[in-house]
Amino acid sequence: MKTTTSKTLRRPAFLLSGLLAATAAAATAWWVHRKAIRADADHPPQGKIIVIDGVQLHYVSRGEGSPVVLLHGNAVTHADFEASGLIDRLARDHLVIAFDRPGFGHSSRPRDRLWTPTAQAALVRRALAKLGIDKAVVVGHSMGAMVAAAFGLDHPSAVRGLVLVSGYYYPEIRFDALATAPVAVPVIGDVMRYTVTALAARTLIGPMVKGMFAPAAVPSGFFTTVPRETMVRPGQLRGNAEDAAFMIPQARTLSSRYSQLRVPVTIVAGADDQIVDLEAHSRRLHLDLVDSTLIVVPGVGHMVHYAAQEEIAAAIASYETLSPGRPAPLPAQPLPALETA
C-alpha cells in the first residue's frame, strides 16, 4: 500500500518538475530571441548586403587602390578588423573589403549546404566577381585563415597573395571545438543555442576574449566596436559551432593540398598565442611552404593583427610588384618584422 501511494505521489511531482523546466526553457528562449532582435536593431549593417546563391552577404568597403579582402575568425564579425584599426590602416593604400562570413554579423547561413572553408571561399569568390573585383590579396585571421587558404588553393587566378594570420592549419584534437560542436546539430543544437548555450556564452564571453588577447590586455574599446550581444546571438552561435565541427576534418583535407599552393603566402603569428600553437601550425606551415614568409610577433597572442598592422601592410605591399598575369614567388628579401623565421 505504501509503495503504491509513493508512486502515486511521485508521478505528479515529476510532471510538475517537467512542466516547470519546459516553462523555464520557453521563457529563456523568448528572452534570448528578444535580445537577438534588440542586438540587430542596435547594431544595424554598416555596409552593404549582396545576395549570392541565396546567401545574404554583408560587407564593408573603404579606400581606393588594389583590392584587399579581409576574412574574420570565429566568435567575432568584420567589426574585429574595425576595432583593430586594420581596415583604416590598409585603406590608406587599398580598396579594402571586409566580409561578415556566412552566419556571422549580418550575413545569413542557409542550411542547404555544408559551410566548410572551401564552401565559404567559393562564396566569397562569387561575391568578388559580382563586385567586379579580381586579383585581390586575401587576408584571413584564425578560422578566416583556413577560408583564405582554401581560396588560394581553389581560386589561384583571383589571388595576388595570401596573408594568413593566427591560423589553424593541421588536424589536432581541440577540446573546445568538440565541446562546441553539439550546438551545430539540428534540433538539439537549436534548442541549446536558445537556452543553455546562450546563457553559458554570456558567462564565458569575457574570459574567452581575454584568452584571445592574452598576454596583452583586451583593448578598452573592443566591446564597443564588437558588442557582446552580437557575439552571442543564436545564429552566430550556430556559425561558431558549425565552423568548430569542420575544423579538424577540414584541416586534414586542406593540409594534404598545401603543396599545391601557387600563390605567395605570408604567415603572421603571435609568439604567445594561447589559442593556436605557433609551432604546430604557423611554423609548420612555413616549413611546408618553401617560398612562404613567417612573421612572429613577440609579446602578443591570437589577436596579433592588433599589433602587426605594419607587418601585414608590408606583406600586402610586397605583392604589388608581382605580375598580374600569373602567381610569382615571394621577394627574396624578408618582410620587416620584429622576428622573422
- Cell representation of residue 9: 505521489
- Cell representation of residue 286: 612555413
The C-alpha atoms of residue 325 and residue 332 are separated, in whole angstroms, by: 20
pLDDT at 337 over 50: no
The C-alpha atoms of residue 18 and residue 218 are separated, in whole angstroms, by: 42
Sign, CA torsion 226/232/238/241 = positive
The reported pLDDT for the residue numbered 327 is 37
The domain spans of the chain are: 48-321
17 HSE (CA, 13 A, CB side): 6
pLDDT in tens, 243-255: 999 999 999 999 9
Q: At what angle do helices 2-42 and 234-255 cross, to 10 degrees?
A: 80
- Give mean pLDDT, residues 175-199: 83
Q: At what angle do helices 143-154 and 234-255 cross, to 10 degrees?
A: 50
pLDDT at 326 over 80: no
Spell out the residues 6+ positions from residue 69 whose beta carbon is closer than 8 angstroms to its own: 97, 98, 99, 124, 128, 133, 136, 137, 138, 139
> In 76-221, at which residue ranges do the beta strands (DSSP E only) sit?
94-99, 136-141, 159-165
Least confident of 48-57, 176-185, 192-201: 176-185
- pLDDT-derived band at 33 (thresholds 50, 70, 90) equals confident
pLDDT at 29 over 80: yes
pLDDT in tens, 77-92: 999 999 999 999 999 9
Average pLDDT, the chain: 89
**Domain 48-321 indexed as CATH 3.40.50.1820:** yes
Higher pLDDT, 35 or 60: 60
